[in-house]
Structure 1
Amino acid sequence: MPWAELPDDELAPNMAQWYWRCRANFTKESWTLLLGVWHEDELLGVQDIGAKNFHTLKTVSTGSWLKRSAQGQGFGKEMRAAVVSYAFDYLDAEVAESEAAVWNQQSLGVSTALGYELNGIFRDGWGEKVETVQRVHLTPTTFKRPTWTLKVQGHEGLKTYLKLQGS
């Protein structure tokens, strides 16, 4: 999305509004969980996971942003693997979806490296620009799991709030 290309004086307020909006609109039926990605006490980026009608669809969507200096070092793949592991192992999701502009081969490379399958192309308006966007789709059986094990703390509160059973 073009929000990352905003001038510095607009980027911070725009991001703050996005985070406030996600928090204010977080309900059992429609939610976005916002996560920070840190390495050696430095914020590298953000990762989110969201859902609409999760109890019925068991489908999550993911989105991320990684600062340019951290790209190409494996952090994007690790943060996506972590949030997808969380979705499948703790939320009992059946599907994870994401998307990227067709020109964003780095993002699509992360997706395919984790086992996402291509799931259609559509046109979208990103600000004043029209973008061709590639959807991707992942299930627990197609997920190429990392060699590490995800450690999660504090999940019980979210599980209770979302009324998830057996998670």
Structure 2
Amino acid sequence: MQVSINVNGEQQSHEVEDRTLLVQYLRDDCGLTGTNVGCDTTSCGACTVLLDGESVKSCTVLAAQAEGQDVTTIEGLGEGEELHPMQRAFQKHHGLQCGYCTPGMVMASVSLVEENPNPTEEQVRSGLEGNLCRCTGYHNIVQAVLSAAQEKQGAAE
């Protein structure tokens, strides 16, 4: 089947099998390998992307279900060479170690802060519950999200 999806602001059209997952489409057809395949069972969140602004685990969405929608991956988050504020916060607060979970964690965090612009530490921990990191113990990730939320609040004032 033919699918047409707006990926990172660019229209992408490809012929795919009807059972192609969005994560496969992004990696194999669009060449966007920043979206990682972790578990294929929705347990880890490494494949999290934004679908029409909402975070989704792209291993649970068929490419056909994203037809006509907007998908943002980690590659499309920043402005050219400039990092997105959430990416900068992860860098500043050392919210990554091996980096495998980072793209999905950043995308989930962007969605979380859009939904709740001023989250508490507990709300961040709860909001990122579906994204797993085996390296950091989450402390630095939570601090990064809180920092990015504060920066966004300051920019809005």
Q: How does the TM-score come out when normalised to structure 2?
A: 0.29
Higher relative contact order (CA 8 A, sep 6+): 2
Q: Which has the larger radius of gyration?
A: 1
Q: How does the TM-score come out when normalised to structure 1?
A: 0.28
Q: Which has the higher strand share?
A: 1
